[in-house]
């Protein structure tokens, strides 16, 4: 097992491009800078974790190649691929402990307007796709995309849905909500759509305001810490990553082997943002209350003056757990 350095002042290193692997480099840098994922793969020797761990260990020390990973993923290094596709590929081939950081779950409810029967599905997701192609406004924000994603969908007329209870096509309403908020929420700005007239993918250059903070239903706040940008077309463009080192509150741009320290990020009316990574903020309701802290202090005082019976040892164990939660909470505020 490898142990990664935690020095906040550590120098960042790049990944060499093997031909057209900028999409892979950008995704790997985001995963490396996601501390929870980096530490999780370090604890496993199976799945893709072992190879990711080896790469991350090298990346701690110097600029390096991705030969082992491109071999494991059967990547043709001279063909550019989609960064979102390979983010999902890497995460799904990682250990459950590592991948669950990005794994969320939705609830889709379909209600028949005729018999009021509600059918429910609960799909998991690794990222949420936000549509851009239907936006006619000059200003479009990630908040607009989130609002549209969770908007109720109504199916009427030619779009009616089949109801098993009614054995007929009926008007229906589909609602969407979040059952499980992932620790890291990944948003895909859908800049590519298939044009059936030209029979090829075309890119949307819609300018997007990227919000640094997001409120996701149901009442969960996220903060932006990384973005993967794309310039050019689907098969011939270039990917880079802009990532925040959360230990030193500093942003860096990762462009293959080149790493540049940059000023605080501003993503207003950007035409290049493609993948956005948001980290979950702890809700205030999840933090230990003052009365709980007072109770801990009283329990500690009792144990200091008493003897360590089995009952006291059990109490001590509980106190240690609660104190750990307090320390983590205070460190995040």
Q: What per-residue confidence (pLDDT) applies to 134? A: 53
pLDDT band at residue 199 under the 50/70/90 scheme: low
- Between residues 240 and 330, which one has the greater pLDDT? 240
228 contacts 26 by C-beta, under 8 angstroms: yes
pLDDT band at residue 46 under the 50/70/90 scheme: confident
Q: What per-residue confidence (pLDDT) applies to 217? A: 83
Question: What b/e sequence results for 85-99 when a residue is b if at least 16 CB atoms lie within 10 Å of its CB, and e otherwise?
Answer: ebbbbbbebbbebbb
pLDDT band at residue 233 under the 50/70/90 scheme: confident
Q: What per-residue confidence (pLDDT) applies to 196? A: 65
Mean of the per-residue pLDDT values for the chain?
83
Work out whether the CA dihedral 12, 238, 30, 269 comes out positive or negative. Answer: positive
State what percent of residues in the chain have pLDDT above 90. 64
- Between residues 54 and 190, which one has the greater pLDDT? 54
Which stretch of 5-14, 156-165, 269-278, 308-317 has the lowest confidence by average pLDDT?
A: 308-317
pLDDT band at residue 241 under the 50/70/90 scheme: very high
In 3D, which of 27, 30, 56 has the Cα closest to residue 43?
Answer: 56
Give me the mean pLDDT over the 294-305 stretch: 43
Q: What are the residue boundaries of the structural domains of the chain, listed by start? A: 290-332
Give me the mean pLDDT over the 198-224 stretch: 83
CA distances, 263 to each of 49, 242, 243, 250, 260 (Å): 33, 11, 11, 8, 10
Please write the tens of the pLDDT for every residue from 163-187: 999 999 999 999 999 999 999 999 9
Which stretch of 46-60, 221-235, 248-262, 274-288 has the lowest confidence by average pLDDT?
A: 274-288
80 contacts 23 by C-beta, under 8 angstroms: yes
Please write the tens of the pLDDT for every residue from 106-149: 999 999 999 999 999 999 999 999 988 555 566 789 999 999 99
Which stretch of 230-239, 248-257, 323-332 has the lowest confidence by average pLDDT?
A: 323-332
CA–CA separation, 165 and 312 (whole Å)? 59
- Between residues 82 and 332, which one has the greater pLDDT? 82
Q: What per-residue confidence (pLDDT) applies to 333? A: 45
For residue 189, pLDDT over 80 is answered with: yes
pLDDT band at residue 303 under the 50/70/90 scheme: very low
């Amino acid at each position: 097992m490898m142990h990664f350095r935690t020095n906040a002042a550590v120098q960042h290193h790049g990944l060499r491009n093997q031909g057209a692997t900028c999409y892979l480099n950008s995704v790997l840098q985001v995963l490396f800078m996601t501390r929870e994922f980096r530490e999780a793969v370090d604890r496993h020797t199976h799945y893709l974790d072992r190879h990711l761990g080896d790469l991350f260990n090298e990346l701690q020390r110097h600029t390096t190649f991705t030969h082992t990973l491109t071999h494991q993923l059967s990547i043709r290094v001279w063909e550019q691929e989609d960064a979102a596709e390979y983010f999902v590929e890497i995460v799904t081939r990682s250990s459950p402990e590592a991948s669950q950081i990005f794994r969320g779950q939705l609830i889709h409810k379909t209600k028949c307007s005729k018999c009021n029967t509600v059918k429910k599905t609960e799909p998991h997701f690794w990222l949420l796709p936000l549509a851009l192609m239907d936006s006619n406004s000059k200003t479009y924000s990630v908040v607009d995309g989130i609002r549209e994603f969770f908007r109720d969908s109504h199916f009427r007329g030619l779009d009616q849905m089949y109801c098993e209870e009614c054995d007929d096509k009926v008007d229906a309403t589909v609602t969407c909500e979040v059952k499980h908020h992932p620790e890291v929420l990944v948003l895909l700005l859908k800049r590519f759509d298939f044009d059936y007239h030209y029979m090829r993918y075309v890119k949307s250059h819609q300018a997007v305001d990227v919000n640094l903070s997001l409120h996701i239903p149901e009442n969960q706040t996220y903060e932006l810490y990384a973005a993967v940008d794309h310039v050019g077309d689907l098969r011939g463009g270039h990917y880079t990553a802009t990532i925040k080192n959360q230990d030193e509150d500093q942003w860096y741009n990762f462009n293959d082997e080149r790493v540049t320290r940059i000023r605080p990020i501003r993503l207003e009316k950007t035409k290049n943002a493609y993948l956005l990574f948001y980290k979950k903020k702890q809700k205030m309701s999840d933090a230990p209350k003052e009365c709980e802290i007072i109770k801990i202090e009283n329990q500690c005082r009792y144990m200091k003056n008493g003897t360590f019976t089995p009952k006291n040892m059990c109490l001590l164990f509980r106190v240690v757990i609660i104190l750990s939660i307090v320390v983590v909470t205070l460190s995040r505020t």
